[in-house]
Amino acid sequence: MKLARLLELHKQNQTDLGLPKNFGDGFLIKNNILFGNVRQTAVRMGFKYTDQSDSRYLALPLSQLEAILKSKTIPYIDNVTVLADVENKIRNVTVWDDVTDNLKQNHVFHESCHAISRSFSDSIFENEINPENVIFRLLIEESFSNTCELLGIMDAEDTAHRIFYELNSYIFMPDNRSQLKKLVTETGLASIIKFLIGGYLFSNFLHEKIKDADFTQLLELLNLHEQPIAVQKTMRSVSKIAFELNPRFRWVTTTFYLRLHGMTVTPESLAKIDFLKLMAQDKRFLALITRLSHFQT
């Protein structure tokens, strides 16, 4: 697709909530339901966005997530001006494939999901110090971000939408669109958000798969066990998507992130945490997941 056309679409779709210097931002707010709802909710919760990124965030974004959440300011870089410069130098020649591999991405969508989940979890887990509870809470937050990014692909029906979405999301799995849309139609968006948070929890707790008994227990805990058998089979199939997260992210980045929070954790110790048992015993976890499934209300 021609860069000139993408720049035109970016310019045509500016909104009050949009970031003019984040390529495709306004387009996604207007045309992607989850992307737009996440932005509206984060702004309503008091979060702001700045293109004045500091060197720490540019160098190692993950290490700055807590600072972002505490300051309620989500950084991004201007990746529009440089594209406009390229187009002005060689007009109507450059195509997206010429620039996509070298263009810096922004992850305000992912960070905004963290902003929403932290705001809810702070109200539910005030002053929580139990290590396993803290770990579980943090991984619910990450699983919510994973879930929103996965589901956002449902609205990406044309080339421009897919280009803008891939640029603004860690997770981009267009082949799963039809299956996800079918499941949302059958059960409702809130139920699928809740279910996928559960599925991603298995992945983020470093399980290799969801055992049949665990799948059954998860559905019961989430009050999804009365769904028709055909729907449960589709849910079982969709749950496997959670394990397509980058293996290095799962095994290295997750434990590093938890250690940044003062948690003493290894991949082995993380995988041993029985989070389904914790969910059954402490209703706060289920309350958080349920609240996140209705985050836009």
- Tens of pLDDT, residue by residue over 211-270, are 999 999 999 999 999 999 999 999 999 999 999 988 887 888 899 999 999 999 999 999
Per the listing, tokens 């305000």 go with 108
- Per-residue pLDDT at 247: 82
Instruction: Tell me the residue type at 106.
Output: N
CB 242 within 8 A of CB 119: no
Per the listing, tokens 């972002």 go with 68
- Tens of each residue's pLDDT in the chain, 297 residues: 999 999 999 999 999 999 999 999 999 999 999 999 999 999 999 999 999 978 999 999 999 999 999 999 999 999 999 999 999 999 999 999 999 999 999 999 999 999 999 999 999 998 889 999 999 999 999 999 999 999 999 999 999 999 999 999 998 988 888 999 999 999 999 999 999 999 999 999 999 999 999 999 999 999 999 999 999 999 999 999 999 988 887 888 899 999 999 999 999 999 999 999 999 999 999 999 999 999 998
Q: What angle do CA 209, 214, 216 make, to 5 degrees?
A: 120
Q: How far is CA 4 from CA 88, 89, 145, 157, 216, in A?
A: 9, 12, 31, 20, 50
Taking alpha carbons only, the member of 59, 55, 51, 58 closest to residue 82 is 51
Q: How far is CA 9 from the centre of its chain?
A: 24
- Tokens standing for 17? 């909530």
Taking alpha carbons only, the member of 122, 115, 114 closest to residue 145 is 114
Question: Rg for the chain (alpha carbons), in Å?
Answer: 19
Domain segments of the chain as ranges: 3-293
- Per-residue pLDDT at 174: 86
Instruction: Tell me the residue type at 105.
Output: Q
- Per-residue pLDDT at 54: 82
Instruction: Tell me the residue type at 25.
Output: D
